Amino acid sequence: MPTSQARVGGHFELIDHFGERVTPECYRGQFMLVFFGFTHCGQICPAVLSRNSRALELLGRDADEIRPLYVTVDPDRDTPEVLAEYLRDRHPRYTGLTGTAEEIEAAKRAYHVFARRADELDDYTVPHTSFTFLMNPDGDYVTHYTDTVTAEELAAALAGEIARHRRNS
């Protein structure tokens, strides 16, 4: 029976927080845990990044099979240097990714992520989708997790996906 499912993920070309140009092919052989956000976010991003980091801690050595990626939706402010400083102390397992506005738009489209700048009095915010996407070591979409999943639930789900992948490899 034919099904119609939208493809999630795909090719992107971005710059990591070390200043290197990267594509999904750079992470082949590892699961990618992909979250879109921005460093000036005061609510969702700190909570999800903390939850994801805690889940990776709970995985122990299995976490080495996962590359957590934080893709900015605010490339005007989130330069590689800003991402590096933001992630260094808070979420050192993460690799921050940024790029031109066009490159970020292409990555958002690939993952079906909503994010749009909303101007405020003297500043702006960027409301955005808060899903965390899991891609397998071949770069294919596995699933996504909402921001309501706990660190323990996420760790258990990730452990299950790693075990399933090992059985099928």
Distance CA 35, CA 17 (A): 15
Q: Are the CB atoms for 126 and 116 separated by under 8 Å?
A: yes
User: Between 58 and 125, whose confidence is greater?
Assistant: 58
Q: DSSP class of residue 117?
A: -
Provide CATH code, domain 14-168: 3.40.30.10
Q: DSSP class of residue 128?
A: B
Q: Are the CB atoms for 77 and 40 separated by under 8 Å?
A: yes
Amino acid at 17: H
Q: Where are the domains of the chain?
A: 14-168
Distance CA 45, CA 42 (A): 7
Amino acid at 15: I
pTM of the model: 0.93
pLDDT for res 156: 98
Q: Does the pLDDT at position 104 exceed 90?
A: yes
Q: Report whether 41 belongs to an annotated binding site.
A: yes
Task: State pLDDT tens for residues 47-69.
Answer: 999 999 999 999 999 999 999 99
Task: State pLDDT tens for residues 1-16.
Answer: 445 567 999 889 999 9
Distance CA 69, CA 67 (A): 6
User: Between 77 and 121, whose confidence is greater?
Assistant: 77
Question: Three-state SS for 7?
Answer: coil
Q: Report whether 128 belongs to an annotated binding site.
A: yes
